Structure 1
């Protein structure tokens, strides 16, 4: 899919991050300024936008990710156009990302630009982190071509993109955006239109609980963050949350959650109904052959060994693996 044309309405932080990803992957990217400006103000924005994208590439190259000599070729694929050149910016674009401020007025204006200028068949993908696709779909004349595509920051480094189609979204539009993202090295997932998507919803609970630990004097901010970095982060960089439940056993989570709920007298720790239902049905995880995932016919010993190898590589990357202390090297 190299060489496709991609457009983005909005040249702010997210638009610039998307441009960096798209151009790096070999595609032309056109950033359309969402605001009318006089010539001098636009030239200032353009210089700032291109400068930030180039600086981002240079920073990654300096870490050894790629040869900095390639930056010029990558930057040649990026164009920044003023708001009155929407037809040129969106012409022949297979996908148009919307990356304007999180207000309904800004979204409506951007969608109107898409409706008036995008090619027939082009997909429209909002990058909103707060609004639902089922709400935004009404802002365009072409809801079958619309969905949300929530990139995580920093866009160039974070592989995950949460795709959230509206009720009207055509399968072809979802497949086109998913396929493109996969082609540029991203990991798209699909979720229903729901407040917080997946990552922000889980993240909000974890961050609030970390703040409570400090507020309650349970531990210092430094030790809470060490616990997350060297415990939570390393563990769940290898095993997904639901996979970890199955790994240890859903029964452990069930009893631990009920204990915490009772100890704190707070229902926020209570296990959700699906955990209780899995307990009743004997879907405990690896030990029973099924949990959130089905392990029937799996070589569980080989699966555990692979996950342990993944965990070891994660520890090595973090500089946390040490050789054993033996008589000759103590």
Structure 2
């Protein structure tokens, strides 16, 4: 199978890696090609150490460049900027063949609104992967009223091909996972803001008391507090005051304390 991934950051590289590990031919479109290739190669090295991939053979099926016209699946994985995503998807539709499925990895933006720029909005579906992609087993498939059964069936097939479990969610702000996850994360931030408990204790309570693999504050640091704030602001605008970002979250982002990628968030990294 031939797959194109637009965006070679953490998510895009992870998506490319899992398709390469399954034996597919993957094209990655990313301005910083060398950085993206290095991320993918490093990820494949880890997979190889676990017996899950042949790094050299997989890298032989990786191409850095534009979306090829014979790609069966094109996945957009650029930052959560609606205008940017719309431009990227419109360009992808112009490059890809008529039978290609277009997918967006957005974690919260409206699929229908992104699809509005396309000549054939019915072939855009949400394929929401989770970070880190090679480890996380879930793919959230987001469908609109225009999504035909055959596109949904193909989306399910792609998830199953990767050994992932798929859940199907109707297009709505935040879908299922971001809507619930962000709400929990925002309340955890408010608890820190109000002095209810330290971040470490809040996270420990959720991991040991509720069986979460990671507490909401550590997860926020991993995802990026700037990303979490942007999603919260979007959901606040769409769904109301229960998603209003706490002042502490805004202050941390303004101070550059974004989590792991900046070295400091609710934790030191």
The TM tier, using the shorter chain, reads: 0.7 to 0.9
- Residues 92 and 118 in structure 1, CA contact (< 8 A), matched pair in contact too: yes
- Quick one: which of 61, 75, 79 aligns to 1:101? 79
Unaligned runs of 5+ in 1: 36-44, 237-267, 269-330
Q: Which residue of the partner structure matches residue 58 of structure 2? A: 74
**Inter-partner Cα distance in structure 1 for 2:52 and 2:145:** 44
> How many residues of Structure 1 are paired with residues of Structure 2 in the alignment?
216
C-alpha displacement of 1:10 = 2.4
**Inter-partner Cα distance in structure 1 for 2:41 and 2:213:** 34
- Residues 165 and 174 in structure 1, CA contact (< 8 A), matched pair in contact too: yes
Q: Which residue of the partner structure matches residue 15 of structure 1? A: 12
- Quick one: which of 26, 29, 32 aligns to 2:26? 29
- Residues 108 and 178 in structure 2, CA contact (< 8 A), matched pair in contact too: no
Give the SS at the match of 1:120.
Answer: coil
C-alpha displacement of 1:115 = 2.4
C-alpha displacement of 1:150 = 1.2
C-alpha displacement of 1:9 = 2.2
- Residues 95 and 177 in structure 1, CA contact (< 8 A), matched pair in contact too: no
| C-alpha RMSD over aligned residues | 2.3
- Residues 112 and 121 in structure 2, CA contact (< 8 A), matched pair in contact too: no
C-alpha displacement of 1:59 = 3.4
Map Cα deviations across residues 130-166 of structure 1 (whole Å, 9 max, x no partner). Answer: 3111211211111121111111111111111111112
Q: Higher relative CO (CA 8 A, sep ≥ 6), structure 1 or 2?
A: 2
Mapping of residues 114-153 of structure 1, within 5 Å: 114-153=92-131
Return structure 1 stretches of 4+ with deviation > 4 angstroms.
none
- Residues 93 and 102 in structure 2, CA contact (< 8 A), matched pair in contact too: no
Unaligned runs of 5+ in 2: 215-241, 243-269
Structure ranking higher in helix proportion: 1
Give the SS at the match of 2:58.
Answer: helix
**Inter-partner Cα distance in structure 1 for 2:199 and 2:114:** 39
Give the SS at the match of 1:191.
Answer: strand
Q: 1:71 to 1:168 in 2, by over 3 A?
A: same
